[in-house]
Amino acid sequence: PRRVVSGLQPTGALHIGNYFGAVRRCVRLQEQGEDLMIFIADLHSLTTHQDPQQLQQNVLELTACLLAAGVDPERSVLFTQSSVARHAELCWLLTCLATHARLAHLPQYKEKAAAMKEVPLGLLLYPVLQAADVLVYGGTHVPVGADQLQHLQVASQLVRTFSHRYGRAFPTPRPLLADDGSDRLRSLRDPTKKMSKSDTDPKSRILLTDPDDVIELKIKKAVTDFTPQVTFDPETRPGVSNLVTIHCLAEDKLPEEVVQEAEGLSTAQYKRVVAAALARALAPVRARAAGLRARPRLLRDVLRHGAARARPRADAVYARVAALVGLH
Ligand code: AQP
C-alpha cells in the first residue's frame, strides 16, 4: 500500500510557492484518497535560529493555513515532528550510516553553509532527518520539488545501506513530482531565483495572507521583459512565464489556454488578469485561516490528535528497526 509523507517548516508566513507547491498538492492527494501524513517540521526549522515564542506562533499559524487550505485532520494525519520522538531516534540510527562526504556535497548544504561563519551540524544532517521523517512511517511516496530530488536520493541510499547491513526494514521512497509547474514558482523580483520565504525583498513573494490590493501591487511590480505579448516559455521568458504558471494554478488551466485567452493583451493588462485570478483563488483560504487563527485551542487539539495517531505508526516501524539493529 502507498503511504505519502510530507512536511513543511514553521518558518513564517507561507507564500504562494509553498501553497500551490506543497499545501494544495497535499490537499489534492488527500482528495484522491491517499494515506497521507503531514507534519510541521519544527525540528528542521531549528537548523536556523528560531525565536522560541515566534516558533510556537508559527506552528499554530501553519496549522491554521493547512486546515484552511482543506487538510482534513480525520482523513490525513496532521502533527508536529517533535511530538513523535521516533523521528529523532531513527535519525540517529541513520546518522550512523550516512557519510560526511556525501552530505557535505549536496548543493543546498553547500549554498547555505557558504553564507555562514559557523555551520551548525544540524544543517549538514538535514537530509538524514528528512529521510527519518519518511522512513519512520514506512513512507512510499514523497511529494517533492525538483530541488528536493537529491535529498530523496540520500533517503534511498540510506534504505539500501540499512538493508545491506541489517536486513530490509523500509520501502524505498519515491518522488511524486508535480506536472503543473507548481513546484517551482519564481521570485517576482528576480525570475531566475525561486520564490522563497527568506528573500529579503517582500515584493519577491505573495503571501497567503496578502489582501487583494497587495496581491495586485506585487504582481504589477513583477519583473518581466520588454516583449509585449504573453507567451509561455520558461527558459527564455521566465518572468512572464511565471505569471502564466501562477494564473494556471489559480484557475486550474493549462498554459496554452491561458496564453490564448491573453492574446492581444499588453503585459500590464495581463498582470491585472493574473492578480484578479489569484485573488479569487486565495480569498476563501485567507478568510478560513483568519477564523482558525482566532482559535488556538482548537489548533492545539488538532495537533494533539494527529500526534496520537502518528505515534503508534512510528512505534511499529521503529520496533522492527531496533530489533534488526540489535537494540531490543
Ligand atoms: N518557489 C517555490 N515554488 C514551489 N514550491 C515551493 N516550495 C518552497 N518554495 C517553493 C515548497 O514549499 C514547501 C515548504 O518547504 P519548507 O517549509 O521546508 O520551505 P523551503 O523549502 O525552505 O522554501 P521556502 O519556504 O521558500 O523557504 P526558504 O527561505 O528556505 O527558501 C516545500 O515542499 C517546498 O518544495
Three-class DSSP category at 149:
helix
Q: Which residues 6+ apart lie within 8 Å of 315 measured at CB?
A: 86
Residues 218 and 172 in one domain: no
Residues with CB under 6 A from ligand 1: 8-9, 17-18, 21-22, 145, 148, 182-185, 194-198
Q: For residue 199, give the ligand 1 atom closest to its CA.
A: 29
Sole residue written with cell 511565471? 242
Cβ pair 299, 65 in contact under 8 A = no
Catalytic residue among 110, 117, 193, 197: 197
- Whether residue 321 lies inside any domain: the answer is yes
Centre of ligand 1 from the C-alpha of residue 144, in Å: 10
Q: What residue type is assigned to position 171 of the chain?
A: P
- Strand segments, DSSP code E, in 68-203 are 77-80, 141-144, 174-177
- The dihedral region occupied by 3, where left means phi > 0, alpha psi between -120 and 50, and beta the remainder, is beta
Centre of ligand 1 from the C-alpha of residue 17, in Å: 7
Grid coordinates of 193:
531565483
Q: For residue 197, give the ligand 1 atom closest to its CA.
A: 29
Q: What is the CATH number of the domain that holds 249?
A: 1.10.240.10
Residues 259 and 316 in one domain: no
Centre of ligand 1 from the C-alpha of residue 178, in Å: 14
Q: For residue 21, give the ligand 1 atom closest to its CA.
A: 5
Centre of ligand 1 from the C-alpha of residue 228, in Å: 31
Residues 70 and 159 in one domain: yes
pLDDT of residue 314: 98
pLDDT of residue 190: 97
Residues 120 and 167 in one domain: yes
pLDDT of residue 197: 92
Residues 103 and 219 in one domain: no
Cβ pair 243, 274 in contact under 8 A = yes
Centre of ligand 1 from the C-alpha of residue 8, in Å: 8
pLDDT of residue 328: 79
| Protein residue whose Cα sits closest to atom 35 of ligand 1 | 145
- Whether residue 45 lies inside any domain: the answer is yes
Residues 76 and 115 in one domain: yes
| Protein residue whose Cα sits closest to atom 12 of ligand 1 | 18
**What are the per-10-residue average pLDDT scores of the chain (328 residues)?**
96 95 96 97 95 98 98 98 98 98 96 94 97 98 90 98 98 94 94 93 97 98 94 96 98 97 95 98 97 98 98 98 95
Largest interatomic CA distance in the chain? 70
Q: What is the CATH number of the domain that holds 306?
A: 3.40.50.620
Active site residue 197: yes
H-run or E-run covering 296: helix 296-325
Cα gap 196→112, rounded to integer Å: 13
Active site residue 194: yes
- Whether residue 189 lies inside any domain: the answer is no
Cα gap 60→68, rounded to integer Å: 12
Burial (CB count <10 Å: 0-12, 13-18, 19+), residue 235: exposed
Cβ pair 204, 188 in contact under 8 A = yes
Sole residue written with cell 501553497? 19
Grid coordinates of 18:
509553498
| Protein residue whose Cα sits closest to atom 11 of ligand 1 | 18
End-to-end Cα, the chain, rounded Å? 27
Centre of ligand 1 from the C-alpha of residue 177, in Å: 14
pLDDT of residue 186: 96
Cα gap 7→314, rounded to integer Å: 15
ipTM associated with this complex: 0.94
Sole residue written with cell 559557523? 118
- Best mutation site among 196, 199, 205 for ligand 1, i.e. most ligand atoms within 8 A of its Cβ? 196
pLDDT of residue 273: 98
Model-level pTM?
Answer: 0.95
- Whether residue 193 lies inside any domain: the answer is no
Centre of ligand 1 from the C-alpha of residue 196, in Å: 6
pLDDT of residue 267: 94
Cα gap 326→328, rounded to integer Å: 6
Sole residue written with cell 511524486? 176
Residues 14 and 138 in one domain: yes
- Best mutation site among 4, 16, 18 for ligand 1, i.e. most ligand atoms within 8 A of its Cβ? 18
Q: Which of 156, 123, 125 is nearest to 139 (CA)?
A: 156
Structural domain tally of the chain?
A: 2
| Protein residue whose Cα sits closest to atom 26 of ligand 1 | 196
Strand partners, 39: 7, 79
Cα gap 172→181, rounded to integer Å: 25
CA distances from 31 to 26, 94, 249 (A): 9, 33, 17
Cα gap 174→153, rounded to integer Å: 9
Residues 49 and 143 in one domain: yes
Domain extent, residue 239, equals: 202-290
Cα gap 218→272, rounded to integer Å: 11
- Whether residue 190 lies inside any domain: the answer is no
Catalytic residue among 110, 112, 203, 271: 112
Grid coordinates of 270:
495581463
Q: Which of 218, 211, 321, 207 is nearest to 271 (CA)?
A: 218
Active site residue 112: yes
pLDDT of residue 134: 98
